[in-house]
Amino acid sequence: MGQDTKYIVGVDLGGTNIVSLLMNKRGEVLERDARLTLAKEGRERTISQITGSVSAVLEKGRELGISPDSLLGVGIGSPGPLNTKKGVIHFAPNLPGWREVPLVEILTQKLSMPVFLENDANAAALGEWWKGAGRNTSNLVLFTLGTGIGGGIIIDGEVFHGAWDTAAEVGHIIIHEEGLLCNCGTRGCLEAYASATGVVRRTVKAIKEGRETILTDWVQNRLEDITCELVYKAAQKGDKLCSWIVEETARYLGVGIASIVNILNPEVVILAGGMIKAKDLLFKPVREYAKRYALKDAIEGVSIVPAELGDDAGAIGAAATVLKRKGLL
Ligand SMILES: [Zn+2]
């Protein structure tokens, strides 16, 4: 059987959804399955959702004439902290009851094929490197702007894990050493300011301090209904407070990007997550601030661009993980 007739499965294990993709080695998606993680129903239930999802894409693959024998393996992109070499998830905040779970061992047994584990944000970075905004580059940094800020780093075409798989926590670049309290327990991390949660928190604080904004009308004074998306929408309409918040967010991101660009000299910095829907409203000032704060030689020629793979980046990168670990990519 030729090289092109080998297939891979990539699974993105999220706190809410599980996405599985059946792909060929060229990176084309052949089949897709998405289902709920059912995290609240416990670990066993979630594991059976994973195996159910993988079986579903394999079943669809069979209809395309793809035999299970031609599968190279399954890659799992999972929240962590985790150990990629041992295949163990130490802990996952969004998966209650998951402590020291030997997921690779469990799934290898249940699926009867090789299984590989990667951190979800690393997987997304690998996905964007393989088939998205970072293709044809060797060095990139991905920032995922969501409830928190996650990240992935590719150096010389390989995921950078660090000594024990904790690398690439770009959300915890400290931008104010005595600043806002972060979820990690320390103060002044980028995540505390520029995540979607940080944006909302800063906006609500400004409103409570008496700043006026169209937002209070939009949410009928229920400040708890303010979302990051609404802040950007109001900025688009020229709202003064929200425009200032958006500008300030871009500055914080620019500072964080400048720091990592100075250290790693990537060719491309990719921003992912809901916030990138703001397009130029976000990217234009982020590029300007990154340029202002970074070393000239480092930032010259760096592209700061939106992610291209959307919600499938993690699953595509998880599939790529199989090829990487087998030395085929
Ligand atoms: Zn932090």
Q: How confident is the chain (329 residues) per 10-residue block, as mean pLDDT?
A: 76 96 97 97 97 98 93 96 97 93 98 97 98 98 95 98 96 96 95 97 97 97 97 97 98 98 98 95 98 97 97 97 97
Q: How far is the CA of 8 from the centre of ligand 1 (A)?
A: 35
Q: How far is the CA of 262 from the centre of ligand 1 (A)?
A: 20
136-308 fold: Nucleotidyltransferase; domain 5 (3.30.420)
Return the residue matching tokens 């993690």: 314
Q: Looking at residue 1, what is its pLDDT? A: 45
Q: How far is the CA of 188 from the centre of ligand 1 (A)?
A: 7
Q: How far is the CA of 182 from the centre of ligand 1 (A)?
A: 5
Q: How far is the CA of 270 from the centre of ligand 1 (A)?
A: 20
Question: What single DSSP character describes residue 12?
Answer: E
Give the global pTM.
0.95
Other beta carbons within 10 Å of 244: 16
Q: How far is the CA of 326 from the centre of ligand 1 (A)?
A: 34
Q: How far is the CA of 221 from the centre of ligand 1 (A)?
A: 30
Q: Looking at residue 38, what is its pLDDT? A: 97
Alpha-carbon distance values, 91 to 38, 77, 79, 167, 276 (Å)? 17, 14, 8, 16, 29
- Work out whether strand 99-101 and strand 88-91 pair parallel, antiparallel, or are unpaired: antiparallel
Q: Looking at residue 120, what is its pLDDT? A: 96
Q: How far is the CA of 140 from the centre of ligand 1 (A)?
A: 22
3-127+312-325 fold: Nucleotidyltransferase; domain 5 (3.30.420)
Q: How far is the CA of 75 from the centre of ligand 1 (A)?
A: 28
Indicate the burial class of 291 (C-beta count within 10 angstroms; 0-12, 13-18, 19 or more).
middle
Q: How far is the CA of 179 from the centre of ligand 1 (A)?
A: 11
The sign of the dihedral angle between the CA atoms of 86, 131, 74, 35 is positive
Sequence letter at residue 245: I
Backbone dihedral angles phi then psi of residue 258, each to the nearest 5 degrees: -60, -45
Q: How far is the CA of 30 from the centre of ligand 1 (A)?
A: 38
**What are the residue ranges of CATH 3.30.420.40 in the chain?**
3-127+312-325, 136-308
Q: How far is the CA of 45 from the centre of ligand 1 (A)?
A: 31
Q: How far is the CA of 290 from the centre of ligand 1 (A)?
A: 20
Q: How far is the CA of 280 from the centre of ligand 1 (A)?
A: 27
Q: How far is the CA of 63 from the centre of ligand 1 (A)?
A: 47
Q: How far is the CA of 191 from the centre of ligand 1 (A)?
A: 6
